[in-house]
Structure formats: C-alpha cells, structure tokens
Structure 1
Amino acid sequence: ARLCPSDQTKVASKALDGCVYIFDFCNFGPCALPFSSAAGEGAKHLKSGKARESAETATPADFMTAQAEVVLCGHTAEGWGLEWGPPGRENVIASAADDGIICVWDLQAKPQTHKRLAPLHKLVADSRLRPLQDVCWKRGEGEGEVLLGIGDDGYLNMWDLRVSPAPVVRTQCSWTCTNALAANANAPYVVATAGADKGVSIWDLRALRRPAHRLLHAHGEAVTCLKWAPGEKTTLASGSTDRLIRIFDLSLVGAEQESDEAEDGPPELRFVHGGHLGAVNDFDWNPQADLFSLMLASVSEDNALQIWQPFEGHKTSEDLVRLQLLTGAAFRGLGPATSLFAAERDAGNPSNESVEDVSVQTRKAFKRDSLFEARDGEDSVHYYGEVDGDDVE
C-alpha cells in the first residue's frame, strides 16, 4: 500500500486480483459502513448476470470495491510495484505486476464503469512479458513523464510516456531477479537497484554501462525493498529476507577505517536494524525529517510492525515501538508513560487484558515471560525472549 503524498487521507492498495484500490481514510472508523452493508452495496454492482441474494455471498473483492473510492484495472496478475506521481503529477499512479505490464492511471479521469478506471498507459519491457517487480518515477528532467522499472530478467528499463509504450532505455543491471528500485529525489540522475544477488547497485542514469557504486553482499539474502531518506542526498536504506534493514551513507564510500571498525562492515554502512523475526517485506521513512530525523517504520512476514530510529554512534538498534499482530498469539504493546499493555488470546479466554507499571519492574521480571520493557526515563522499548534455549534481549 502507498499513501498519497499530496492527500494523506488517500491510500492505494494492491490486491491479489491485480487491481489497485484507492481508499479514503475519512470513510473508515466508527462511521464506516459495516461489512455486511458494504458487501451488499458491492454486490449490487456485480456484472454476473444474476443478482446476489444476500450480502453473505459477496466476495472479498466485492467488499473492497464497495469501500474503495476508485478501482484501478488493467493488470491480469498480482504484483508489488506501486508509486504515486511526483510533485506536480500527484493525480497519477504507476503499478508494476507479474503480468509483465506497467499501468499508469490518471485519477482525474472519469471511471468507465462503476468505480472502475482503465489505465491511461500500458507499458511493456519486451515481448516475453517477464514479471516486473518494481516501478518508480524519474526525478529532475522529464519528471512526471519518465518511468523506471525492473523485474525478473534483471534489466533496468526506462519509458518516456510521451514517446511509446516500449522502453527508450533498456540495460542489464543484474544477472539475477531484481526486486527493488528507488529514485533519489535529491539527486535526479541517481537510482538504486537490488534483488536476489544480495547486493545494492547505485546508478547514474547518464552513464549506465556500469554501476557508479556497488554494495557487494549488502545482505545475507535477497533484498526486497529500497528507499532513499527524505532530505538526505546520500542516505539509503535496504530491507531483506535476512530480517535486517541496513542504512548506508554513500558520502562515506572509500573513507578510512580502523581495523576494528572494518569488522562491522564497510565505511558507508551507517546502521543495522535487527529487530524483525521474519523477512522484511517493506519499510518507509518518516516524511517529517525535520522533526524525526531518520525515523522509519517497517513490516515483516510475521505480521510485525516496528517504528524505530537509529542511535547516533551505534550500528545496532532498539525499537521505539513494536507491535506484534499475530492472530491467536500474545499481544504486547506500550501504554501511557511507562506502562505496558498485555492481552493474552486463546480459545478459553479470548480477552485477558492487563496494564502494568514498568517503572518499578526489573529486567528479570520481564525476561521470564518474554515481554517488552519500557524503562523509566528512556524513550526506547526492550524485548526479552528466548532463542534456541538462550535468553536474549
């Protein structure tokens, strides 16, 4: 899902059916339409040739259509790549999918049928229609008209919407599947790519014969996501199936290191966040960089959301907030001040909730039950658990 940068009440979300659904947050919450009513509304608009008899027969797609402001059609397969247009083109959105197509929609256009909007452009990389994993808008010259895309074939493609649906530039950026692509808003010709080869490549779009810099073995497994920090020209973060998020400062490439510093990684490695227990699916920077410097939110395959911030002078992280959203499992979270909220969920006792003041609790008290700890006077959260029989913090 992607939040609209110019209207933060709107979010675009991709679904398994290949459609992109545009939702308005103002329609959700206590005043939102109940599921049964929403599903019923969606069922009224089905073109199945037979009216639905009740809301109970409506599908999840019916429910999503009923709740959505607009449904963007054009893909025949699911996908991951999704990005709103740059400043001045906030009304457009681009999507990449496993059908090998990039669709571009103009949200100011009128839907052809009930809520369903056809793409303004459909772009292809080549005739083989290999899956395209990510898409982004080029910054600087041609901003809002030039798109970049990468996919399973390892090629970096550039399309100019004013020219043709075929790429104007197509170059090999990896010999393996490429998963992630990020354009630098503060350096218009700079983009980063990463994927199954575990590395991150930095490219200058004016000279694509070879990468401007290569972060070899940036991760231990495939890289899944990349983002440049807002307001930071040289700061890039990457997430991976190795459960880590790494932050790099490219202005430090080639800087001298002491021998003990080199053991922690290359000089450009600024920070490593290792709080996730599952593969990292996505993350994003806090856009209010002036208020919350280098703060990020990240999600992983175990349905965990973490909001965190690097500690200056350190290369490992502590979570500011961590929410475990595991159905049927224990939930731990922060309450007011130094209190912890705990809710145990099981078949016999579906809701057993408690709030504890942790300002007087000790490390041992939390270590016993694998809990979060909010220490008095600190703005961080500590988690104690057991891994392979060993107690860990």
Structure 2
Amino acid sequence: MIESLLVANRGEIARRIIRTAKRLGVRAVAVHSEADADLPFVVEADEAVCVGPANPAQSYRNAEAILAAAESTGAQAIHPGYGFLSENADFARTVQARGLVWVGPGADAITAMGDKINARNLMAAAGVPVAPGTTEPATDLDAAVAAATEIGYPVMVKAAAGGGGMGMAVAADEAALRTEYDKVRAFAERMFGDGSVLIERYFPRVRHVEVQILGLADGRVLALGERECSVQRRNQKLVEESPSPAVSPELRARFLAAAVRAGEAVGYRNAGTVECLLDPATQEFFFLEMNTRLQVEHPVTELVYGVDLVEEQLRVAAGLAPTFDPDALTPRGHAIELRINAEDPKRFLPGPGVIGTWVEPTGEGVRVDSGYVAGNTVTPFYDSLLAKLVVTGADRAEAIERARTAVADFAVAGPKNNLPFFAELLTNGEFLSGDYDTGIVGRMR
C-alpha cells in the first residue's frame, strides 16, 4: 500500500480522501490556498503546505507548486480528487515522470476521453450507443448549420473540451444556433483553451443516468451499478440516487455492459464514470461522456455496494487486488445524495459568507461529507459545495423519509444555502413517483 499521499484538492473531497488515508495508516499531506488555511481538511491532514493565493490558477491548478509540495514532504503519491487538475493528462504524465504514483486513470485514457468528439467516436467504434452528432468539430458557423440540418433540430451545442455541465446550449432552430454557436465557442476558448464545438441531437425529455466503473490492476473493468442524476440546475447535478428508479433489470444489464465496453476500449484503470442520457419513452440510452476521475456523487455507490472507492483507488494505484470479490458484488438498499450548496434556494446564485451555525444531522442511514465547520468562511473563489448529505434505506421510500428528517435537522446559518429547496423537492409528487427527468427543477420554479 502507498505510505504517503498528497491530496491535490480542497474542501469536502480533500477531507474525504484524508479520512480514508488515515484509516489505512497512510500519511496524508494537504495542499491549500491562503484562503483555505483554516478549513478542516488542512487541520486534519498529517502535514499541510500552502501552495499559493486564493486564485485557483495560482494554487490548486498550479502544477509546479503542487509537485514541489510533494517533493518537500516526501509524498509517494498524488490523489487529485475531482475538478482542478484531476482530468489534466499533462499533469498525470508529469506526476509519473517525477517518480510519483498517480491515483487515477492513465494519461492516455484521460486524453482519449477529454475531447467529447474523440470520445464519441471511440465509444461508437466500441459498440457503445451514441446520440446522432458530429464526428468532427464544427469549425465554423456554416459547418454547424449544415450539421444541425442533417441531425435535425433541436440540437445541443457543446464545447468539445468541456465538462461538468459547462459550455452547453440548446438551439431549437437555425436562428438560435447562429446565436448560441458563437457564445459556446467563445466560452470554450476562454475556459478550456479549445474552441472546438460539437453539435448533437437534443432530447427534450431525458434522464441523466451514469455508471460507476473501476478498472482493476489486473486489467479487468468492473461496473458498480448506476446512479440517477436527473435533478439538475444549469446542467449541473443537485441530487443523485442509486439505483435509478427508471432502470429495469434488463436495462441495467445493458447499461453496465456498455460501461464495461467503454472502459475496456481505453484500457481504463482506477475509478471513473460513464455518463449517459436515457430516453424514458423508448428506453434507449446514449453515451454522453466519461469522467476520468472520482465523481462528487461516489458515496451513493459506496453505500449501496458497501465499498470504499477511495481505498479501491489507492489499491489499484499500488497494483493491489480489490478488497472485495469482483464476482460477488451485490447491491443492497437505496441511497440518495443531496448537494448542500452555498447558494440561493430559488435562483441558485452563489451566496458566500461566514458560517455562524453548522449542525450536521445524525441518525441511522445518515452520512455527511462536509468541507466546513462553524466559524469557517465560504469564499467566492471556489465551487459553492458545502457538504454532501447522503442517506440510505432498505428501499427508496425509506431513504426519502430519512432524507426529509436529515434536511430538517441540518442547521446552517451565515451563507445562503439550498436546504429549503431540498425540503421542497422531497415532498414533490413528481420526484416521489420516481418518474422525473432533467426538467424537474425548472418545473418546480
């Protein structure tokens, strides 16, 4: 097993990784910005190094500063968490070139999946269903219009190098496409340094379902069930649950088989997620993207399958076998995750501030992965995620009931937060029925 681990991230995911590292007797090293010096993950690490000012480009995305911290602390391995440098193939290569262990998939897999058009083409060749769309970037507006005409409106205009729900727009007709194409391209160039644009069929009523995969050290790729991620605002997830209430045993078998093929197509190692769109009317699903890292919502899979995915990541990176029998994975019960964000519960606009009150719920089937405690300041420099409230039950109904109680018991004062939204969602008839799609939040508003 790895003996010392540098966690190249912040907040709840850094704290989460450190927790598993310490349980395994692995020395945990944190890196932090000046703005995060007092956060729990810094305090709980065995050692901590400040890598720069609040601006992420000068701290959490500063590859050389992070590598210098690893060298100065004698860290053996680097876990990137999610976001920041987690899907940066050049960083992964540099980590390994410096003689360190990279806790994640190989750089070639990250590169292959980092461009949405290339990923679509690879998946299609591997027999994974993909939605109608372009096989090459739409290099100019005329090419985009021609592609959309062939595909059929409405279409989704996407930044090929994007991720996390960013760099996307819907065009219902040519006039809208002419407006949105330039916006998406400019955003992509600014955010990702790559203005390539993908045109893809847009499905007005669709569900977002993803599969957790784990590429083992021996070369096998496993699928650890699916997660339903259709409760979203601005194409970004707010709630995840497993198993999906929309997925039958027959459909699940098809989902998992496709996800394994996707992983095998790129020689995948370590944890990753194959994201898909599901048309509830036809039960057809289409590859959306592969996230070559640990997902925010990994706890729902952990609780349903009884595994620690961070521990499994460390074992794969160290060349070790998993802690479980790959041929005897059995899901049990139902899990739901709510992303508690520092944002207005109506318009979902960020609302940073000093946390005056922070009381986490407890009880059977309740888990909280948090990044803050009372007295901490939520700054405007980073993602608004405060904590992940995860509940389990013998079935979906019990999990929802426990979630209602936990939301009511979660006391946060200071920054704005979206707990009132979850209180509303957990009594919403559409959500309770399980028959919902990615438009549910818009209909609630």
Greater RCO (CA < 8 Å, at least 6 residues apart): 2
**TM-score of the alignment, normalized to the shorter chain, above 0.5:** no
Q: How does the TM-score come out when normalised to structure 2? A: 0.29
Structure in which a larger fraction of residues adopt helix: 2
Structure (1 or 2) with the larger CA radius of gyration:
1
Structure in which a larger fraction of residues adopt strand: 1
Q: How does the TM-score come out when normalised to structure 1? A: 0.32
